[in-house]
Structure 1
Amino acid sequence: MDVEGMEMGVAPGDLGEDELMRELRHLHATRTETLLHGSDDALAHHTRRTKELETEYLRRHPQREVDPERLRSGARAR
């Protein structure tokens, strides 16, 4: 546990691929509720954990497929 008494979870580098994706999906699914109704500490923890897991995902997948529609040029073309 960290100093605020909240569990920090498994280190992102120690998670298997399926576990990493499950954690990321859960965090993204709970973001709005945490933003709207969580304490300041809960929101800060959520933000830190999301950053940790997203950083690990990007480390593992540096050549991930990027949808051209998600680029600025793709938005202009629409």
Structure 2
Amino acid sequence: MAEHTAPGAAARELEDGRLLKELETIHRTRHETLLHGSDEALATHTQRLKELEEEYLRRHPQRATTPGRTRTGARARTAGEN
């Protein structure tokens, strides 16, 4: 079993819906934690974020990507703005 020291259930133990819900929550709280959280809170948040994202990517290695969210798509969008 993967090491787990962040609060909450280990990411590998979460069913898909719960994993997505936890990812939504942690992304929503990231900015406030960065700006106003203690060093310990930020470190814990970062560790949990990493754990959840790695688990999502492990489960969905072939996830769909939006062309505009790729490096090539971003370059094309920027070129069109000039």
| TM-score under structure 2 length normalisation | 0.84
Secondary structure of 2:62's match?
A: coil
| Residue 25 (structure 1) aligns with | 24
CA shift, 1:67, in A, is 0.8
CA shift, 1:73, in A, is 1.1
CA shift, 1:71, in A, is 1.2
| Residue 64 (structure 2) aligns with | 65
CA shift, 1:38, in A, is 0.5
Identity %: 60
| TM-score under structure 1 length normalisation | 0.88
Distance 2:75 2:18 in 1: 36
1:1-78 equivalent positions in 2, closer than 5 A:
8-78=7-77
Shift >6 Å, 4+ stretches: none
Distance 2:47 2:28 in 1: 16
- Show structure 2 runs of 5+ residues with no match: 78-82
Secondary structure of 1:50's match?
A: helix
Aligned residues: 73
Distance 1:12 1:22 in 2: 12
